Amino acid sequence: MKPDGERQVAAKQAMQKMAHDKRSKYKSELTVGQKTMARKYRDGDKRMLGLVVERKGPLSYVVPIKSGVLWRLHISSCQH
């Protein structure tokens, strides 16, 4: 009787994912409609209140700022 290769591979992949997730820098996600403080890198206030309107990628979000401009932000630039 041979060992079940698929089961062994699935178990090993699950262990690798758990180890990766423990070290992952960005553990949280934002949802559409969630309020966030967007980091501003120019003069004036350092944070501006916005509302997530779209998710552009695994770590990128679109947030309109009070001036009406849409900002595409990385999750590291959002405080939630």
Task: Say which CATH number the domain at 41 has.
Answer: 2.30.30.140
At 62 the pLDDT is: 93
What domain range is 35 assigned to? 26-79
Domain count, the chain: 1
At 53 the pLDDT is: 93
What is the full per-residue pLDDT of the chain (80 aa) written as tens digits? Answer: 677 788 899 999 999 988 887 877 766 788 899 998 888 787 777 888 889 999 998 889 999 987 788 989 988 888 76
At 56 the pLDDT is: 92
CA distances for 14 relative to 10, 17, 18, 20, 21, angstroms: 6, 5, 6, 10, 11
Q: Do the Cβ atoms of 30 and 61 come closer than 8 Å?
A: yes
Read off the pTM.
0.62
